[in-house]
Amino acid sequence: MNEPPMRLSPQELRDVTLAQAIERADEARTLVSQTEWDEITRQAVDAARGRGVPRVDVADVVRERAAAAVDRAAGRDTTVALLRQAGAQGRWLARGLPLLALLLGLVLDRVANAHQVDLLSPPLLLVLGWNLVVYALLFWHAWHAWHAWRARRAHDAHEPPASPSALHQWLLRRRAHAGQRARRGLPARIAADFITHWSGLTRARFTQQVASVLHLCAAAWAAGIALSLLLRGLVVSYHFGWESTFLDADQVHAIVGLLFAPLTLLFGLTPFSLQEVAAAQNFAGEGAAGARWVWMYVGLLTLVVVLPRLLLAAWAHWRQAQWARQCTLDTRGSDFDALRQALPDDLRIGLLCTTPTLRPTLATVRALHAEHGTTMSAQGDRLCLIEPADAATSVDAVVVWGDGPAPPLPPAWRQAPLLTLASAQFGASWVCDGALFERLAALLPTRRHALQRLGQTWQARNEALFTESLQRLAAHLHACAALVKTGTNAARYVELLQALDAALRDLHGHTAAMAPAPGPPPPTPQGALTASGDTTALAVGTSAGAAAGVAAGAKVGAMIDAGTGGLTLGVGTVLGALLGGTTAWAMRTLQKKGAQKGSIDELLRRMVEDACTRYLVLAHWGRTPAAQANERGTRWHADVVATVAAHWETLTAALNAEAARDDTLQPLLRTMLRGILSREGV
């Protein structure tokens, strides 16, 4: 926020001001839709990034964005088109007023007396006196402006914004034709907003423009008076002199000497003598001697009025041109807050994992949410998660993630703000991934809007994965329901499980190379049967059957484990045995002939429980330390069992319906699984 004001051309500044007026006045986005604004902003950002801008700011996009927005609005509204143009009315007024002043000067003396040259001419004295007063005021103003500039420079303060002038606003309204035709409606609001801000921004230029015109008018007025004297002298014989009720010749001689002193002192001209002044009393002077008086008048007007005013007009015109070449726009103000918040940002976040068993999760998370290592929002925000191995450059913040002691930070990261997250606060479940962005937004308040958009993009990707997973689960369970109805070979169930595991694994970025080695065989609970025990002991509802399921699960689960690269049941000893026991019981039930309806119903329920548990496990595989995997998996399975029981009647109807004609299973699974994750407190 310490960047100096940016420089623009006058037309670029006009476009920016008009675009802001459109954006503020058109709250309903009827002239330029919000979709168009977003598209214009993205195009401007892409252009800035194409120029190699490392981090896009307001100054990098404001020109292109404003020009594109005004182009669209001007093609739809004539008022906007008129406001965009630098009007010709001001130029004609600036040229016409000096000509009018010249004409007034030409007729001024003729209105009084066409045949006399008055040594004490009131119009002449008024012109000279007024100009001397103006010079004094200009000097006083310049002196105060110089001291104010020195004070601002000493305190390193910016020049306060100028308030718009009434004359400037009136000219702008006339230019936009908003006075009579657009008193109401969107064009009037845009015109009013633009006029207020534009006149304030350009008051310095307008002041110099007005000053230049006024100086030219004063010079033209004096030149008109001088020309009037010279031209009338061609056809008229002047009677020159003076008359007064209260002044005598000595006093008039003193006045005339003071009046013509600039000419006599600078050019060495002979001043008028007392005898010449006394001889001209009551306009007694005439003949060729009058030419001297006329030329003295003309010289005095030229020296005191015409030349100084032309120099002042040239100075004002030069300053006006300087403003046009160096006009600036301060993008740090509140007028650009909305654009600043909408601009995409580039964030580099250092991610330091303090739990070694969670480090593979970083690769999985980056693969799921980042393309070429970068997460990008729809608005163009970019987030790059950097590991210590890539810590050659600085980062915007450092996230220390895990439950172990934090190692020393890389040197390039030590000046960045630090955020500490336990393993359960981020990554434990995809529904709590948003905590990373919420905490980062609190840590980096100036980047919060970009972090909110990136967090929404991140969670949208999680939701998309969840939806795809639900589709796979629904298809799997419909296939299981068909399998139960037809009594197909039990090996088919193994194939369905392998297909489900492979699909979930691929969706969530798990590869066989990332899978841990299968754990040791689960301990056989006391009183349980061996793997080769009596198959009839696997009946539902007996403690022996449950124990035998766990024992047999190790053997049957090993077969499934081998088919899925050790991922499915290698997540933990207890959880592997639990899933394996369910699978073994389902396979034995499928192999039995003439199973009772209750067993079939229980079989389908076990399949639903197994599938839901597998989703929860595989979707979050590697997100928590190994020591917590069994505990979370077992808790999840217990919650799945309770949830399935609570929704079983609805689940049965959805499972028995034809998959191609029924869409109730997937929403039901969504409600069940989201409820489980919510109850987990993540």
Long-range Cβ contact pairs of 310-319 (< 8 A, separation 24 or more): 310/215, 310/216, 310/219, 312/138, 312/211, 312/215, 313/211, 313/212, 313/213, 313/215, 313/216, 313/219, 316/208, 316/209, 316/211, 316/212, 316/215, 317/208, 317/212, 319/208
pLDDT in the model for residue 549:
40
Provide the pairing of β-strand 382-386 with 374-376: antiparallel
Distance between CA atoms of residues 247 and 138, nearest Å:
33
Count other C-beta atoms under 10 Å from residue 435's C-beta: 17
Chunked into runs of 10 residues, the chain (682 residues) has average pLDDT values of 72 90 90 91 88 84 92 90 72 81 76 62 81 89 78 56 49 49 73 84 79 90 85 72 79 83 81 79 66 81 91 88 77 81 86 79 68 78 83 84 84 89 80 87 90 90 92 91 76 85 84 43 34 30 38 44 40 59 68 59 88 88 70 86 92 78 82 86 48
Q: In what order do the strands lie in the sheet with 374-376?
A: 374-376, 382-386, 346-353, 397-401, 418-421
CA pair distance 237, 293, nearest whole angstrom: 13
Residue 71 in 3-state DSSP?
Answer: helix
Q: How far apart are the first and last CA of the chain?
A: 37
With CA atoms as reference, report the closest residue to 432 among 468, 458, 393, 404.
Answer: 458
| Structure token pair of residue 540 | 């539902």
Per the CB < 8 A criterion, the answer to whether 290 and 296 are in contact is no
Instruction: Give CA–CA dist 31/272, Å, rounded.
Output: 74
**Residue burial 451-471, b: 16+ Cβ < 10 Å; e: rest:** bbbbbbbbbebbeebbeebbe
Contact 63, 16 (CB under 8 A): yes
What local confidence, expressed as pLDDT, does residue 600 receive?
76
Q: How far is CA 352 from CA 244, 494, 553, in A?
A: 100, 40, 38
**CA 131/CA 125 separation, integer angstroms:** 10
Tell me the residue length of the chain: 682
In whole angstroms, how far apart are CA 516 and each of 498, 503, 506, 585? 17, 18, 16, 26
Is residue 113 helix, strand or coil? coil
Could you give the CA distance from residue 394 to residue 387 in angstroms, rounded to a whole number?
12
- Helix intervals (H) in 343-447: 359-369, 434-443
Domains of the chain by range and CATH?
6-86+331-337 (no CATH), 89-162+203-326 (no CATH), 345-459 (3.40.50), 460-679 (no CATH)
**In the prediction, which pLDDT does 270 show?**
78
Q: Which two tokens stand for residue 460?
A: 């949208």
Angle among Cα 641, 647, 649 to the nearest 5 degrees reads 120
Q: Which of 384, 76, 75, 115 is nearest to 233 (CA)?
A: 115
pLDDT of 434 reads: 86
Residue 452 CA to chain centroid, in angstroms?
13
SS3 annotation, 218-285: HHHHHHHHHHHHHHHHCCCCCEEEECCCCCCHHHHHHHHHHHCHHHHHHHCCCCCCHHHHHHCECCCE
* Residues in a beta bridge with 399: 351, 419
Q: Report the b/e string of 44-82 with b at 16+ CB within 10 A.
A: bbebbbeeeeeebbbbbbbbbbbbbbbebbbeebebbeb
**How many whole angstroms separate alpha carbon 333 and alpha carbon 186?**
25
